[in-house]
């Protein structure tokens, strides 16, 4: 396998892990975020600093990247996730940008805006694939459990959810923490893949991309998010020669999907026998007018 | 010796300048099937929202089984053993009928996060219990054949029954039904009457029904509380209510207009 | 002392430009209850129309400004008709509108990247920027005074429009309950178009002043994030709140730049957002939203 193809596959795995995190939060819990690149940044810098400065082995460094992102998300989430809807969306931009600004300005520790070079190339194909498979299995299991149903209830109707006995705030914070862990691990793997990281890699554009991928794939479909990641990552590579059109197409597709098929590529379905059957028998699709008032 | 399940004690609620609930007091004994009636905008649903902690009480206390539940958050109130349905349905329309009930039912079969993420430990047995219990309740309300359908695609009357099944799966001791007959035709109302009396009998419940249809309440509720403009205007058995001058005044105007 | 007064004037001036943007954004929010991320695009469009008409038709800022305002207003209406109307007519899930608006903002930004390129453009010197001695207390630039004055002018105009005209009253009624005003015989689609036109128009004014301050480039719309933050601090959907939040933010930014460090100003902005929301989750003047059950 050529290095180029291998690189793309590793990138697919890394982006897939981050997308699963955002999918849990936005797709399954209904919390719209525009700041998750910040958690990737935390994971990336944690792993970079731990391996380069302190000479720690990459495996604990990657896990630490995820855990530190998760702890920070928890601390941020407890107060801010009391906010509903758009308040949190705006706050998440602020949080994501703040993380980036802190990394840029904390020169002595992060080496600032010029970036952090010399990271070991620890993310090879087997490492990325192993992380991806384990984390995907855990996530698929999680959404098919009592927690998955609780998240979806908070998404579809948080008032009804609390009237079924769910502590909706707690589930939102939990969902945010898990999604930050996934993004943190993805960031840490990214650091070991690129061997050089810079705060600007984790700006608002990256956050938007993370959320866009989940929207493309279908809010509430984990496999959809992964398909969305694959499509976007590959299209990004294909369009590299005309990269100035890339973002334009990106934005247009985002609008068109919302207008034409807001449920995304997969709707809420998961790729599996039941989805394939539903392709042939579309009668059981719920009418659009009956969609819940989960937006507020 | 009967015990009091629910007791409202001089409860008041203001919305801006509007005194939406005025000095409301009543109590329900264990096993009662009571009706809360009154014209549109009388504050009936507000009472439910105050009991379930959706709104905060401005003054007064609400006791559930002797415990003051006024300071509790909604989910804490529900976990104490109160369940409710909604005037304008609040199902999860894109989830299946079964998932809707399972989502509520799981409150009594909680397993841990790591069991959920690994599908090890109690996951398998408890998921099975949740599913079986939910199917049993769906059977009870006659929706078991539709378990795999999206809840939003059900006809209106079925959705109302699904809401009742979902509330029951919380295993409440007090059930609050908010206009369960709204939008139903007379046949469906009759069927619903049967269902409410049956679950009242079989599940050892105290039930409070908000209703607009006087007939339904008069037929099934031996204890009726009538309110208008946020205040209680009468309380008693159907005979007492039917002949109460205040109620004739509050209701007749409206009934004449409706006719 | 000099620096303090100077930074306060700068801060108020910057804050008043934020206010022009935040008010339009908040107005849209009060009607449709979603956060219109494409709002920054309206500002960029206004800026570019102004830039090119200045070049093409002589340096007449009044004419160019008018064209920019109308142009941005029309684009705002088009964006609503193309992207938001089909969504809001089909569902009440505002998350879809939010995502569509995010897409729209990317589209507008990159239309300019693709067509005119990403380079920074300075508007011709049509707005005076000479230093002005401010009552002998401090020296500030004419531009700051002018942008403050224009912002006050337009915000007063908006206030008059909302309180004195038929459509203004309809808009205020719709901000309580859009659906009910539809039932009361108000043409909801026209009302929404007017709201978007006003929002686009005000954004264009803000865009022109920001292009003078920071030069013009496709990503200038990013600055709207600060206006969003201001609107959230003030309370989403509340117009006085948007103005108040903007002024606070402008002051905080300029005072930080003047007395601490210019690099810290964005951090201070976001820090204030988080602190405000912790203290008052619905913003300074926002109404506590409680959902009907």
DSSP track, chain C? -HHHHHHHHHHHHHHHHHHHHHHHHHHHHHHH-S--TTHHHHHHHHHHHHHHHHHHS-S-HHHHHHHHHHHHHHHHHHHIIIIIHHHHHH---HHHHHHHHHHHHHHHHHHHHHHT-S--BPPPS-S---EEEETTTEEEEHHHHHHHHHHHHHHHHHHHHHHHSHHHHHHHHHHH-HHHHHHTT--HHHHHHHHHHHHHHHHHHHHHHHHHHH-B-GGGGGGHHHHHHHHHHH-TT-HHHHHHHHHHHHHHHHHHHHHT-GGGHHHHHHHHHHHHHHH-TT-SSPPPP----
Q: What pLDDT, on a 0 to 100 scale, did the predictor assign at position A88?
A: 78
Burial degree of C283 (CB within 10 A; 0-12, 13-18, 19+): buried
pLDDT tops 80 at residue C115: yes
* Interface membership of B123 toward A (CB under 8 Å): yes
Average pLDDT over residues C102-108: 90
Q: Mean pLDDT, chain A, as a whole number?
A: 85
Chain A contacts in chain B segment 174-233 (CB below 8 A):
none
Q: What pLDDT, on a 0 to 100 scale, did the predictor assign at position A295?
A: 34
pLDDT digit string, tens, across residues C25-81: 999 988 888 889 999 999 999 999 999 998 888 778 888 899 999 999 999 999 999
CB pair distance less than 8 Å for B93 and A146: no
Q: Which one of B94, B113, B153 has the shortest CB-CB distance to A147?
A: B113
Q: Give the number of beta-carbon pairs within 8 Å between B and C.
A: 7
Within 8 A by CB and 6+ apart from A232, the residues are A15, A209, A212, A213, A216, A250
pLDDT digit string, tens, across residues C249-282: 999 998 998 888 877 888 888 888 878 877 877 7
* Interface membership of B114 toward A (CB under 8 Å): no
CB pair distance less than 8 Å for A168 and B75: yes
* Interface membership of A154 toward B (CB under 8 Å): no
Q: b/e per residue, C124-150, with b = 16+ CB within 10 A?
A: eeebeeeebebeeebebbebbbbbbeb
pLDDT tops 50 at residue C120: yes
The share of chain B scoring above pLDDT 70, in percent, equals 95
CB pair distance less than 8 Å for A291 and B93: yes
Q: Which one of B99, B104, B110 has the shortest CB-CB distance to A164?
A: B104
pLDDT digit string, tens, across residues A251-275: 888 888 888 887 777 777 777 766 6
Q: Which chains touch C (3 or more CB pairs under 8 A)?
A: A, B
Q: What pLDDT, on a 0 to 100 scale, did the predictor assign at position A283?
A: 46
Q: What pLDDT, on a 0 to 100 scale, did the predictor assign at position C204?
A: 94
pLDDT tops 90 at residue C292: no
Q: What pLDDT, on a 0 to 100 scale, did the predictor assign at position A291?
A: 38
pLDDT tops 70 at residue B2: no
Q: What pLDDT, on a 0 to 100 scale, did the predictor assign at position B126?
A: 92
Q: What pLDDT, on a 0 to 100 scale, did the predictor assign at position B246?
A: 75
pLDDT tops 60 at residue A110: yes
Q: Give the number of beta-carbon pairs within 8 Å between A and C.
A: 161
pLDDT digit string, tens, across residues B192-250: 888 999 999 998 899 999 987 777 788 889 999 998 888 888 888 888 888 787 777 77
pLDDT tops 50 at residue A286: no
pLDDT digit string, tens, across residues B155-190: 888 899 999 999 999 999 999 999 888 878 888 888
Q: What band does A85 get if pLDDT is binned at 50, 70 and 90? A: low
Among A182-186, A196-200, A226-230, C93-97, the least confident range: C93-97
Q: What pLDDT, on a 0 to 100 scale, did the predictor assign at position A290?
A: 36
Interface test with chain A among B84, B116, B133, by most A beta carbons within 10 Å: B116
Q: What pLDDT, on a 0 to 100 scale, did the predictor assign at position C136?
A: 67
CA distance C218 to chain A (A): 12
In chain B, the residue whose alpha carbon lies closest to the alpha carbon of A147 is B116
Name the one residue in this structure whose structure tokens are 């939008």.
B183
Q: What band does C93 get if pLDDT is binned at 50, 70 and 90? A: confident
Q: What pLDDT, on a 0 to 100 scale, did the predictor assign at position A132?
A: 96
CA distance A222 to chain C (A): 18
Between these two residues, A142 and C214, which has the higher pLDDT value?
Answer: A142
Q: What is the DSSP string of B142-182?
A: T-GGGTTSBGGGS-HHHHHHHHHHHHHTT--SEEEEESTTT
Q: What pLDDT, on a 0 to 100 scale, did the predictor assign at position B1?
A: 45
Within 8 A by CB and 6+ apart from A256, the residues are none
pLDDT digit string, tens, across residues B134-151: 999 999 888 989 889 999
Q: What pLDDT, on a 0 to 100 scale, did the predictor assign at position B48?
A: 92
Q: Mean pLDDT, chain C, as a whole number?
A: 85
pLDDT tops 70 at residue A280: no
Q: What pLDDT, on a 0 to 100 scale, did the predictor assign at position A136?
A: 95
Average pLDDT over residues B63-72: 92
CB pair distance less than 8 Å for A95 and C270: yes
Q: Which one of A34, A102, A255 has the shortest CB-CB distance to C100?
A: A255
Q: What band does B69 get if pLDDT is binned at 50, 70 and 90? A: very high
Average pLDDT over residues A223-242: 83
Look up the pTM and report it.
Answer: 0.85
Q: What band does A284 get if pLDDT is binned at 50, 70 and 90? A: very low
* Interface membership of C263 toward B (CB under 8 Å): no
* Residues of chain B with C-beta less than 8 angstroms from the C-beta of A144: 119
pLDDT digit string, tens, across residues B105-117: 999 888 989 998 8
The ipTM estimated for the assembled molecules is 0.87
d(CA B219, CA B194): 11
CB pair distance less than 8 Å for B116 and A156: no
pLDDT tops 80 at residue B79: yes
Q: What pLDDT, on a 0 to 100 scale, did the predictor assign at position B256?
A: 46
Between these two residues, A283 and A41, which has the higher pLDDT value?
Answer: A41
Question: Domain spans of chain C?
Answer: 2-10+17-224
């Amino acid at each position: 396998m050529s290095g180029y193809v291998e690189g793309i596959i590793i990138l697919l795995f890394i982006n897939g892990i981050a997308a699963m995190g955002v999918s849990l939060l936005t797709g399954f819990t209904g919390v719209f975020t525009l700041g998750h690149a910040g958690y990737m940044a935390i994971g990336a810098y944690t792993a970079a600093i731990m391996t380069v400065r302190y000479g720690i082995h990459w495996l604990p460094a990657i896990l630490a990247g995820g855990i530190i992102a998760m702890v920070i998300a928890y601390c941020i989430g407890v107060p801010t996730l009391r906010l509903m809807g758009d308040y949190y969306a705006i706050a998440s931009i602020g949080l994501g940008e703040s993380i980036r600004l802190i990394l840029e300005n904390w020169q002595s520790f992060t080496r600032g805006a010029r970036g952090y070079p010399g990271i070991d190339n620890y993310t090879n194909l087997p490492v990325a694939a192993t992380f991806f498979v384990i984390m995907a299995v855990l996530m698929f299991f999680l959404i098919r459990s009592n927690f998955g149903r609780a998240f979806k209830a908070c998404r579809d109707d948080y008032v009804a959810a609390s009237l079924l006995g769910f502590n909706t705030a707690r589930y939102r914070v939990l969902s945010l923490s898990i999604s930050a862990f996934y993004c943190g691990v993805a960031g840490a793997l990214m650091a070991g893949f690129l061997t050089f990281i810079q705060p600007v890699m984790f700006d608002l554009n990256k956050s938007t991309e993370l959320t866009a991928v989940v929207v493309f794939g279908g809010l509430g479909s984990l496999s959809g998010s992964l398909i969305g990641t694959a499509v976007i990552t590959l299209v990004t590579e294909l369009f590299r020669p005309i990269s100035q059109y890339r973002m334009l197409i990106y934005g247009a597709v985002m609008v068109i999907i919302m207008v034409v098929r807001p449920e995304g590529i997969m709707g809420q379905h998961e790729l599996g026998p039941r989805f394939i059957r539903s392709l042939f028998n579309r009668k059981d699709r719920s009418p659009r007018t009956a969609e819940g008032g989960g937006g507020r | 010796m009967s015990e009091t399940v629910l007791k409202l004690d001089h409860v008041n609620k203001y919305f801006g300048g509007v005194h939406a609930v005025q000095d409301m007091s009543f109590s329900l004994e264990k096993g009662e099937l009571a009706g809360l009636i009154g014209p549109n905008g009388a504050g009936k649903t507000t009472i439910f929202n105050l009991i379930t902690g959706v709104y905060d009480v401005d003054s007064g206390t609400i006791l559930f089984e002797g415990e003051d539940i006024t300071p509790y958050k909604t989910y804490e109130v529900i976990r104490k053993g109160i369940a409710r349905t909604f005037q304008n349905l609040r199902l999860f329309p894109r989830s299946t009928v079964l998932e809707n009930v399972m989502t509520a039912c799981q409150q009594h079969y909680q397993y841990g996060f790591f069991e959920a993420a690994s599908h090890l430990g109690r996951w398998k047995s408890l998921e099975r219990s949740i599913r079986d219990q939910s199917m049993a309740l769906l059977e009870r309300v006659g929706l078991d054949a539709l378990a795999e359908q999206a809840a939003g695609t059900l006809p209106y009357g079925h959705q109302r029954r699904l809401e009742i099944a979902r509330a029951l799966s919380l295993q409440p001791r007090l059930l609050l039904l908010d206009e369960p007959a709204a939008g139903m035709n007379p046949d469906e109302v009759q069927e619903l009457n049967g269902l409410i009396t049956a679950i009242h009998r079989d599940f050892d419940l105290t039930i409070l029904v908000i209703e607009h249809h006087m007939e339904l309440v008069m037929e099934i509720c031996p204890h009726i509380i009538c309110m208008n403009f946020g205040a209680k205007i009468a309380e008693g058995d159907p005979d007492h209510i039917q002949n109460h001058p205040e109620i004739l005044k509050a209701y007749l105007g409206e009934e004449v207009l409706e006719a | 002392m000099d620096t303090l007064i100077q930074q306060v004037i700068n801060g108020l001036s910057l804050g008043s430009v934020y206010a022009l943007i935040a008010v339009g954004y908040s107005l849209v929010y009060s009607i449709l209850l979603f956060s219109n991320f494409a709002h920054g695009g309206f500002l960029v469009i206004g800026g570019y129309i102004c830039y090119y008409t200045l070049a093409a038709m002589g340096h007449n800022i009044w004419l160019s400004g008018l064209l920019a305002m109308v142009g941005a207003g029309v684009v705002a209406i088009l964006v609503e008709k193309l992207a938001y109307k089909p969504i809001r007519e089909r569902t009440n899930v505002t998350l879809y509108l939010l995502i569509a608006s995010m897409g729209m903002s990317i589209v507008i930004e990159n239309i300019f990247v693709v067509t005119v390129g990403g380079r920074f453009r300075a508007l011709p010197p049509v707005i005076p920027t000479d230093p002005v001695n401010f009552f002998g207390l401090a020296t500030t630039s004419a531009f700051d005074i002018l942008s403050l004055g224009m912002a006050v002018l337009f915000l007063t105009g908006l206030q008059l429009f909302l309180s004195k005209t038929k459509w203004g009253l309809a808009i205020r009624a719709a901000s309580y309950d859009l659906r009910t005003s539809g039932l009361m015989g108000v043409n909801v689609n026209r009302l929404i178009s007017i709201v978007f036109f006003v929002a686009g128009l005000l954004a264009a004014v803000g865009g022109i002043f920001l292009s003078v301050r920071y030069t013009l480039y496709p990503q200038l719309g990013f600055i709207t994030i600060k206006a969003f933050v201001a609107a959230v601090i003030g309370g989403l959907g509340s117009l006085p709140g948007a103005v108040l939040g903007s002024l606070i933010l402008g002051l905080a930014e300029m005072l930080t730049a003047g007395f601490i460090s210019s690099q810290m100003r964005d951090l201070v902005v976001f820090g204030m957002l988080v602190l405000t929301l912790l203290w008052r989750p619905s913003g300074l003047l926002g109404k506590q939203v409680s959902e009907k059950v």
